[in-house]
Structure 1
Amino acid sequence: MKNIRKTALVTGAASGLGFEFAVLLAKDKYNLILVDIDVEKLGISIRNIRMIADVNIKIIIQDLSEASSSEEVMKQIGNTPIDVLINNAGFGLFGKFSTTNWERESKMLQLHVYTTTYLTKLLLKRMEKHGSGKILNVSSLAAFQPGPLMSLYYASKAYILSFSEAIANELKGTGITVTALCPGQTNTGFQKVVAASASEHKIKFNIACPKAVAKYGYKAMQQGKTVAIPGQLNRLLSNVPRFIPRSLVTTIIRRLQENNR
């Protein structure tokens, strides 16, 4: 890859927010490294991006829920300097913790927690050598409260938020910024992965457009903001647990999940 322009790496880039981030980056003339497991969708995304902007695009076909995925991505990157990292890949799982599939859950935790953390660590070391860089980790509005019937999804997104805020503080004054994007429901393929009985699949109000969410998060990243919550209602909802008992918040979330089965 040519290194005349800056380079951005986006995970989960084949569709949804990942694709929209890639489009925004391409319009700003970043060379792209796009990571996804879906070869067919990734090919379609690349063709669409090339119709918009003339940038170099490298694809990495990788299941990021595998333990060795971060090292595999780094091998394929080689010595290419990475100026922007967007950790977007993720999925959800609905059901009572005692009955949900552990194999699926462990892959979600591997992806949301381990891969996001390790890939950030590996690329952050490179950014520190150059004294600049931007990292955007996609968390969720779910990060601000416990989520019965989607317990590990909510917990893993809370981890991403906490992790991002902590390292953003550590990196002050280094030229490197970390942003946690915390969208509410967004019209992406996420709802197709979560069980049809989940409220994430059934609630029809306050559903955002992925293009608008990506644009909001991208602007926040470029401005170096630490936490970005798109939408006034979502910003209000993120503060609710500060003003009412946490047990009540958990009860409300549980009822929302159950009532939308």
Structure 2
Amino acid sequence: MKDPNSQYTLITGASTGLGKAFAQECAQRKMNLILSSLPNENLEDLTRQLRQDHGVEVFYKETDLTNRLAVEEFAQWATTNFSVNTLINNAGIGGTQHFIDSTTTYLDDMIQLNIRAMTLLTRLLLPSLKQHKSAHILNVSSLAAFSPVPYKTIYPATKAFIHHFTRGLEAELQDTNVRVSVLNPGPIMTNSDVSKRIEVQSFYIKLSIMTPEEVARIAIKKMLRGKSVIIPGIMNRLNAFFIRAVSENFRISVGTQIFKRENRKTHNYEGTRNRSKQPAWQQPDQKAAASRLQG
């Protein structure tokens, strides 16, 4: 039976990258955790480490959130066994490649994970969140949510959904105990493939890059303060301002130049199927893998 006095923060896509940084930041703040990732992503080791290092309660469940039934079972397991007062929807997939070169499985997995899993988990956990005196939802979007992005196509569209969904939900819940925030980071240095792609980017873009730990620290701090829209880093806030200030056609033109060059020079890393190089929260199943540069 769950202990209503022991509150938990649920984090999806927690095995590596930004999700792992979220877990570490929350554990440092003495927040008990429920973590999820795909199977075989060493989530048990992270759970053990967080327990030992920070003296908090940590539980985990490995599951594939591109599967609707798995999402529903995960939500039922979490709400039945734990008192969840914070939900961080971090799991997502993205990449840079020609739309015509993308497999339908890859595209469908991106939509199911970035949109459906986030939406359903929020709906299924909301009754539990509303039982608390104070509760939080943090959905991870991207600066890409503010503009169409050639050679990413579906990714910014899913992030735009997350952004608008979160702002709308925030308005619906403004008279409740649940605070809702959306995180719109720029590029994050998450893995070796991201490092390779960053090497071909302009000096200006490189100035915007942040570590997962930096983003997580800012995001959790502002989430707990009830900040609605969180854009970490001065350069990223400037980027967000300019994105909104210029015309959509200009944004598309600039994005075409940037990501066409990235797609060409990195030999389309995102379309490969080498799971050994990919973090779990970027791979929705055994058949579709994608390296991700957030933002």
Aligned residues: 257
Do the aligned partners of 2:12 and 2:89 also contact (CA within 8 Å) in 1?
yes
- Match of 1:82, SS state, is strand
Residue of structure 1 equivalent to 2:293? none
Do the aligned partners of 2:132 and 2:177 also contact (CA within 8 Å) in 1?
no
State the alpha-carbon separation in 1 of the partners of residues 29 and 188 from structure 2: 24
Matches of residues 111-190 of structure 1 in structure 2 within 5 Å?
Answer: 111-189=113-191
State the alpha-carbon separation in 2 of the partners of residues 201 and 42 from structure 1: 30
- Match of 1:48, SS state, is helix
- The answer to whether residue 58 in structure 2 is matched with residue 31 in structure 1 is no
**After alignment, is 154-163 or 65-74 more displaced?**
65-74
Equivalent pairs: percent with the same residue? Answer: 34
Do the aligned partners of 1:131 and 1:174 also contact (CA within 8 Å) in 2?
no
- Match of 2:130, SS state, is helix
**After alignment, is 99-108 or 127-136 more displaced?**
127-136
Do the aligned partners of 1:83 and 1:132 also contact (CA within 8 Å) in 2?
yes
Do the aligned partners of 1:5 and 1:29 also contact (CA within 8 Å) in 2?
no
Matches of residues 1-261 of structure 1 in structure 2 within 5 Å?
Answer: 2-77=3-78, 78-189=80-191, 192=193, 202-203=200-201, 205=206, 206-260=208-262, 261=265
TM-score (norm 2): 0.81
State the alpha-carbon separation in 2 of the partners of residues 208 and 3 from structure 1: 37
State the alpha-carbon separation in 1 of the partners of residues 179 and 209 from structure 2: 28
State the alpha-carbon separation in 1 of the partners of residues 183 and 48 from structure 2: 27
Q: Deviations over 1:132-163 (max 9, x none)?
A: 31000111111111111000011101111111
- Match of 1:154, SS state, is helix
Paired residue type of 1:69: A
Paired residue type of 1:151: T
**Structure 1 unaligned residues grouped into runs of 5+:** none
Q: Deviations over 1:149-207 (max 9, x none)?
A: 00001110111111111111111121111111111111114x74x8x7xx667437122
Q: Whose RCO is larger (CA < 8 A, sep 6+)?
A: 2
**After alignment, is 10-19 or 37-46 more displaced?**
37-46
What RMSD over aligned residues (CA atoms) do the two structures have, in Å?
2.0
- Match of 1:39, SS state, is coil
Superposed displacement of residue 98, structure 1: 2.5
Do the aligned partners of 1:2 and 1:56 also contact (CA within 8 Å) in 2?
no
State the alpha-carbon separation in 2 of the partners of residues 79 and 208 from structure 1: 36
Paired residue type of 2:56: V
Q: Deviations over 1:197-231 (max 9, x none)?
A: xx667437122111010000001110111110011
Do the aligned partners of 2:6 and 2:83 also contact (CA within 8 Å) in 1?
no
Superposed displacement of residue 253, structure 1: 0.4
